Structure 1
Amino acid sequence: MSSADDNLRALAQAQGVYLDFFDLHGVRHEASPDTLRALLKALGTDADSPAMVSEALAARSAQAGMGEIIAFAGDPIHVPVARTCDWALMDEAGAVVSEGRATGAVDLPRLGVGYYTLHLNGASDSETFVMVRPHRAPELATQSRADRCWGTTGALYGLRSASNGGLGNYADLGAVAATFGRAGAQFLGVNPLHALGWAMDEIISPYSPSHRGMFNIDHIAVESGLGPSPEADLIDYSSFRERHRAALEAQFKTRDTAAFAAWCKTCSDETRQFAEFEAISETHGHDFRTWPAALQTPGAEARKAAGKRAEFHLWLQYLADTQIDAAQAQATQSGMALGLYLDLAVGPRPDGAEVWMNADTIAKGVTIGAPPDHLSPEGQSWALAAHAPGPLARARYAPLRSMLRRLMAKCGVLRIDHALGLLRSFWLPDDGSPGGYITQPLDSLLAVITIEAHRAGCLVVGEDLGLVPDGFRKAMNDAGLYSYAVWQFEANHLGEILPADTLPPYSLACFGTHDTPTLSGFWHGTDVEWWQRVGWLSSGDRAARHSHRAKQRASLRDVCAIPSTARIGEIADTIHRGLAQSPAALVSMQMDDVFGELEAQNLPGTINEHPNWRRRLSVPIEAMEQSSALRHISDVMRATRGASPHKEDTDHPEEEPA
């Protein structure tokens, strides 16, 4: 290897680029020079020539100074300084918290949870961002009277009702939450509710948002209703959106201007910018990168171009915002301790509003993906943008802070999709070079998450599936984030599924997710059939996969004592009972499994090959409360979970001991 290659590798390693990684099968993949150069460029460093690499290494060696300080609330904070200086500590509002003169070190007062700025005035002025975090994010025992609980998760878009016209809406969300709350569930989880973009008609995946801090207007319930959901099993988004948007336009003309005006006084500048983006997109298209140059960043020109139409899009966010709040109120009033359980997608689309509004922190020339893993044997390209660690830190994590704050205000639990991205993320260069991992500032990101969760009183679940580095789960759990345990993936080295009592106590456990087959589909191997159908498996591979699935079924029969003659309903009951009896703090049942659906909501790694994000639930929301399926799952859960009081509240006679 040449000295130039050595320098390139040294620079890449210094900037947090992984020089190699091991895949699911333990095979080592070394990052090629092309990959290293592409990832360095995405991080803001040009490394196209040996001279550029040498200059970048020299510049990095010359850098000095404190970028940020992370401390725990109530702990003493000792900050060494090189020379005598005056100092002042400011809070988020810019008010002075404390000040003084220091020689050798600044001793800050014990601080509460929040963000601060330390100003040092001396020979060279400087300022340091100070994040004071709680020791742990909120936990189940502090947010409810229970040490463990259960809930359900499902596809909001797939809900049938007498008035939603074909796509589940926020009114349906509140109704279903109340129904399950009365049945004893403590949370209702749904797909991400992020904004997809008014002008992006082709996007239906909730995991491909335009902006993760704004809300999906497809789910707004219109005053007049749109009639009953069609009988078809699959959603026709185009037809629905045509009727739904016409109804929204008509309702806007008769809107409650006083309530809207009151809400506008409290909405953020970001929300207004998003409304401007949406208005401009109606004229210039969904991809801001093709807009006139003056409009490719927020500002006066964009505001002028958006004109009065921005008010309509701001009003849509008002409706979504207030309707989600109403759904959370219905959930908690029904008896749910936690209520809504929302989902944070990995990233935004490169053409969308979040990238437009945060151009300074977005990594250039790459998108996020994943190497081959349990969910997709071919690996995945998610076509999502990534925030670059350095620029994000220099922006004091403002995009992340505001996004989390907005989402956590709406729910009792927030799930972070692909939480491994807090430690490292897999970036795929646009130039076609092989992908590679980038180190993320785990401690800083956990500080932001725990601060925002503390303020909102929101539990956090980190979806830690896939290739999990040693120590990651412990770091996440130590910060109060719950792991995400999918029982069908919890197996030994032979591929045999482990007993439910081995599921991690500090986790949200489930049998499957929107990315896996349903319980019935798992048992019958429908996912294997789909993998062959889309061309991922040969006939020999298909047979091997079915053989492996047979081993998984046999192991479940063994650990759950499922008779060989049991039918799928009895099998589902037994598996759900196993989950309920597991040590996991939170247990979730897929709504598709509660009502006996066969096909999965999504097949990871596909777009059009499988009807992703289109499947409707067979049971309408009006029939759920009286359904035998819901009563049955409620009985199963209540027998072990629904009546499990917190250890400090055992004096409540209305609650039965577990």
Structure 2
Amino acid sequence: MGLARLAALHGVATSHSPSAGVSVPVPDTTVVSVLAALGVDASTSDAVRSALAAADAAAAERLLPPTAVLWLPSPEPPVPLPGGTRVQVRLEGGGTREWHEPLPDSLTGSLADSLAEGAAEAEGGGMGAGAGVGAGVGDRPVRDVHRASGWDQLPPGIHQLDVRTPDRAKARATLVVAPEAVAQPEGRVHGFLVQLYSLLSGKSWGMGDLGDLGELAAWSGRALGAGFVQVNPLHAAVPGAPTDPSPYRPSSRRFPDPVHLRIEDVPEHAYVTGQDRIRLDTLVEKAAQLRTAVLDKGALIDRDAVWELKLQALELVLRIPLGPGRRAEYCDFLAAQGQALDDHATWCALAEVYGSEWHGWPAGLRDPRSTETARARSELMDRVDFHCRLAWLTDEQLGAASRAARDAGMAVGIVHDLAVGVHPGGADAWAQQDAFAAGMSVGAPPDAFNARGQDWGLPPWRPDTLAAGGYAPYRDLLRGLLRHAGALRLDHVMGLFRLWWVPSGAEPTEGTYVRYDAEAMLAVLVLEAHRAGAIVIGEDLGTVEPGVREALSRRGVLGTSVLWFERDWTGDGRPLSPESWREGCVATATTHDLPSTAARLTGGHVALRHRLGLLTRPLEQESTDDSAEVAEWLGYLSRLGLLPEGRFDEQGGIRAVYRFLLGTPARMVGVWLPDAVGDRRPQNLPGTWDQYPNWRLPVADADGRPLTLEELAASPRLHALMDVFRARDAPARRTVAEPRTGTPGARPA
């Protein structure tokens, strides 16, 4: 019982429910390991008793949590406070607000007088007379001052909260003041979903780049009325041989990867002359060969080969001195990014010397704040500056793509994607070691689809460290991603509430859930999105605990609804009628982890999994069940009148699917770009590593022939699909509506 109570106090689950009515206990060894990662010793009975006593004592003394949340407009304090408590809020932007919490009507006489005297005392916190909201204590009767509460007058932001109770107990906390909800898109908007690396144009260096993103946004916004383009995470990857091609296991989520740069769009590129120009032209020719190999010869996208050429080109381009104006812009960028960029660039420079796994570096360099690291940073200053320049250039081109989307009239613009975690050997894990739980990995518990569970190899954030630091790493991460985003998609958004932690060396089945302060995580998310004027989308597919979708909806976070999963799970399991879908979602037919619509309709995804040995049942049985499911959907689409051609063919079926999505109340409808040209291949096939070319396929037509962006723009098949949207969708607008509240039609995952 002692261990279970201690675990509960620290948000560590001692059991989990893989399905309704089933409870599975968590091994005690797992609970002990997870508590140790949170700085709590539970290795013996005596240690548990000592830890419980310490936790109880701390709780008894705690007046405020490390981080408190206030949702506007609210006149109530974020936590209950005794009447007469003196409140001081130091505002993020400067200035101070002070007041006393209201006293009970029965409080009069000497106690009120003593409170007034206390209010007039000058303290180190500056909570003295005359410093409150409106008149000071000496200017009005005490009872009137005590009834003036300032919670609902606070501006959104990250503030410092200090309180002192009538019995002179003091406490301090970070105060997150957030609007009630994120803004929503006004009206219906549609747009494309695409993995950027897969979209090559005639100018690409072997993979899609930020220039291609800007072109896609400008074309689809102007010519097709698209309201957004959603891309995969563009986070910085861990360099290696080979580099992990997955965009969901990055070195850093805080900074983008310069592999996405369009070299020709770097302003200094135009001024390269002499022998450097000859070398640069040679690199351009080699890049053309990479592009041709992918588009014409069936080669896979080779990220490492692309980066090798771009790195050589950037070494030449960055020799050109910055002009005074450009230099000033760069200095402003350095100042704005501060320590985070310095750490990131230092890790990149050290990785060039010692390799990309910092746990194997010389001992002194494993600590980003050590004297050895400071010395190495000084010695490698040229390389540190080089990587800072790359971050700046990439940020500039992200901004250019965002402006192209806005200039094209997109209502939302570019939707960026936030991966759920980072590589344990990467830059973020090195620079923010105190924020990550050592010896732990994020994953997923066993379920009906994966009896072994999953271990994603991503170190989780420590909830206690985040709260104690006012969620600074999380805030900085969001602020950086939202700089050039019209919307932000959060992969596995359920991680704001809890994550499945797997101890190092243990099987995924031996993990457990660890809770986060979802109220604080959501408040920071809503606040930063509000500041950026951005929409927020949560990927809430899979196992979702009760109440999560409702909590996200209250804060304006859109969910993700995929056609094939939307069924009446509380009834007969039939396809959910379009009017029953939730409004607060992005509705789509597929994702990067799922079969394309053409593969789904034709059964091609079953044949693919059979070839790779991934089926758990005989092929005939899988094919029969899959055909029955598709027939059920097509019959339903036909009864709804969404197959006006009268009979089924592949293209007609795809158009019917998207007509269906347009018949739902969903705020956003996403078109998987490969669907528009009949591509049958998933970008990622879960459960495979080297059996399938995950994250390395270009967008292709129904015959598997890769298509350039220019060919996509001229594709009759794409335009026939987009005619569905022209006929059914209202023109997108740039404005966003006021935040909406309410609960969508949440359903089991």
Same fold at TM > 0.5: yes
Please say if residues 532 and 538 of structure 1, whose CA atoms lie closer than 8 Å, have aligned partners that are also in contact.
no
Rounded Cα–Cα distance in structure 2 between residues aligned with 1:373 and 1:179: 42
| Residue among 375, 383, 389 paired with 1:304 | 375
Q: State the alpha-carbon separation in 2 of the partners of residues 249 and 128 from structure 1.
A: 47
Is the CA contact (8 Å cut-off) linking 2:501 and 2:514 kept in structure 1?
yes
Please state how far the C-alpha of 1:479 moved relative to its aligned partner. Answer: 0.5
Q: Counterpart in 2 of 1:28? A: 23
Deviates more, 1:64-73 or 1:478-487: 64-73
Asked whether the 8 Å contact 2:409–2:733 carries over to 1, the reply is no
Q: Which residue of 2 aligns with 1:500?
A: 578
2:588–2:671 contact (8 Å) kept in structure 1: yes
Matched, 1:281 2:351: yes
Deviation string 1:300-347 (CA, Å, 9 cap, x unpaired) is: 532431322101100110111000100011111112111101100001
* Partner in structure 1 of residue 96 of structure 2: 96
Q: CA deviation at 1:18?
A: 1.9
Q: How does 1:142-291 map to 2 (within 5 A)?
A: 147-182=187-222, 183-198=224-239, 201-223=242-264, 226-227=287-288, 229-230=291-292, 231=295, 232-254=298-320, 256=322, 258=324, 259-267=326-334, 268-269=337-338, 270-291=340-361
**Change in 2 beyond 3 A, CA 1:549/1:113:** same
Q: Equivalents in 2 of 1:648, 1:622: separation in Å?
A: 31
Tell me how far 1:80 sits from its aligned partner: 5.2
Task: Verify: 1:440 aligned to 2:516, yes or no.
Answer: yes
2:500 alignment partner, SS class:
strand
Which amino acid is the alignment partner of residue 345 of structure 1?
Answer: A
Letter in 1 for 2:150: L
Correspondence for 1:656 = none
Distance 1:275 1:644 in 2: 40
> Cα distance 1:56–1:609, how it changes in 2: closer, same or farther (>3 A)?
farther
| Structure 1 position 108 matched with structure 2 position 108 | no
Deviating more after overlay: 195-204 vs 148-157: 195-204
Q: 3-state DSSP class of the match of 1:368? A: strand
Root-mean-square deviation (Å): 2.6
Distance 1:374 1:588 in 2: 28
> What letter is aligned with 1:14?
L
Distance 1:163 1:444, change over 3 A: same
Of 433, 437, 445, 1:359 maps to 433
Amino acid at match of 1:435: G
Q: Give the secondary structure class of the aligned counterpart of 2:288.
A: coil
Indicate conservation of the 8 Å contact 1:89/1:99, yes or no: no
1:11 aligns with 2:87: no
Amino acid at match of 2:668: L
Distance 1:496 1:380, change over 3 A: farther
Moved more, 628-637 or 267-276: 628-637
SS in 1 for 2:595: coil
CA displacement, residues 45-94 of structure 1 (integer Å, 9 cap, x when unaligned): 22221221111111111113112321122422436556977653212255
Matches within 5 A, 1:477-556: 477-493=553-569, 496-540=574-618, 542-556=619-633
Gaps of 5+ in 2: 101-117, 120-141, 270-283, 700-705, 738-749
Deviates more, 1:420-429 or 1:309-318: 420-429
Contact map agreement 1:39 1:429 (CA 8 A) in 2: yes
CA distance in structure 1 between the aligned counterparts of 2:417 and 2:157, rounded to whole angstroms:
24
Q: 2: CA distance between counterparts of 1:329 and 1:266?
A: 18
Deviation at 1:382, TM superposition (A): 1.2
Q: 1:423 corresponds to which residue?
A: 497
Change over 3 Å in CA distance of 1:486–1:153 after alignment to 2? same
Report the Cα distance in structure 2 between the residues aligned to 1:106 and 1:10, rounded to whole angstroms: 40
Q: Quick check: 2:196–2:208 contact (8 Å CA) kept in 1?
A: yes
Report the secondary structure of 1:168's partner residue: coil
| Distance change in 2, residues 1:317/1:255 (3 Å) | farther
Q: CA deviation at 1:413?
A: 1.0
Out of 514-523 and 17-26, give the one that drifted further: 17-26
Contact 1:375 1:516 in 2 (8 A): no
Return the alpha-carbon distance in structure 1 between the equivalents of residues 160 and 622 of structure 2.
55
* SS of residue paired to 1:153: strand
Q: 1:26 to 1:286 in 2, by over 3 A?
A: farther
For residue 600 of structure 1, report the CA deviation from its aligned partner: 0.1
Give the superposition deviation at 1:608. 2.0
Residue aligned with 1:350, SS: coil
CA deviation after TM superposition for structure 1 residue 630, in Å: 3.1
Deviations along 1:265-297, one digit per CA (max 9) or x if unpaired, are 233121121111111111111111111222222
Q: Which residue of 1 aligns with 2:72?
A: 73
1:374 Cα deviation from its structure 2 partner: 7.8
After TM superposition, the score normalised by the length of structure 2 is 0.80
Q: Comparing 102-111 with 378-387, which one deviates more in the overlay?
A: 102-111
Contact 1:499 1:559 in 2 (8 A): no
Q: Unpaired runs of 5+ in structure 1?
A: 1-5, 142-146, 650-658
- 1:541-600 Cα offsets, whole Å, 9 max, x none, are x44433332232022112211589522111111111111222111000100101110000
Task: Indicate the SS of the match to 2:263.
Answer: coil
Q: Secondary structure at the match of 1:23?
A: strand
User: What is the alpha-carbon distance in structure 1 between the residues aligned to residue 355 and residue 647 of structure 2?
Assistant: 57
Displacement of 1:121: 5.8
Residues 601 and 612 of structure 1 are in contact (CA less than 8 Å); yes or no, is this contact kept in structure 2?
A: yes
Change (3 A) 1:185 1:648: closer
> For 1:294, which of 364, 368, 392 is the aligned residue?
364
Q: Which amino acid aligns with 2:91?
A: D
2:173 aligned to 128, 132, 137, which one? 128
Task: Give CA-to-partner distance per residue, 1:603-640, whole Å, 9 cap, x none.
Answer: 12332222110000122112233222332232211211
Given that residues 589 and 597 in structure 2 are in contact (C-alpha distance below 8 angstroms), is that contact kept between their aligned partners in structure 1? Answer: yes
Q: Bigger CA drift: 108-117 or 448-457?
A: 108-117
Distance apart, 1:602 and its partner CA = 0.4
Give the match for residue 330 of structure 1. Answer: 404
Matched, 1:137 2:132: no
